Amino acid sequence: MRKSVVALVYGAALLASGAMVWGAQANTSSSAVALKPATQSSSIVEKAACRGWGPHCRPGWTWYCGPRGWCRCVRC
């Protein structure tokens, strides 16, 4: 009797978890078309340096002068 109750409880749990997963759907072609403009505006290629070697800073850095007259290299 105990084995049948355990089997019934496990079966009900399996059925409940399967019912929750049943609603999961993959992307349809209409949603893929909606994402296309967003992917075209972005690029995986990124600039390595903003200007290359400058008179003061290395590549990836640019010369910036603050409001009080101090200057330093900052990241691009």
Dump pLDDT digits (tens) for 23-62: 666 655 555 566 666 556 666 666 666 777 888 888 888 8
Residue 71 — pLDDT band, cuts 50, 70, 90?
very high
**Does the residue 25 lie in any domain?**
no
**Does the residue 75 lie in any domain?**
yes
Q: What's residue 36's pLDDT?
A: 62
Helix or strand or coil: residue 75?
strand
Residue 66 CA, distance from chain mean position: 35
Mention every residue, 6+ apart, whose C-beta is less than 8 A from residue 48: 59, 60
Contact 75, 60 (CB under 8 A): yes
**Does the residue 60 lie in any domain?**
yes
Helix or strand or coil: residue 39?
helix
Q: How far apart are CA 56 and CA 73, in angstroms?
A: 8
Can you give the residue range of the structural domain that contains 64?
48-76
pTM exceeds 0.75: no
**Does the residue 70 lie in any domain?**
yes
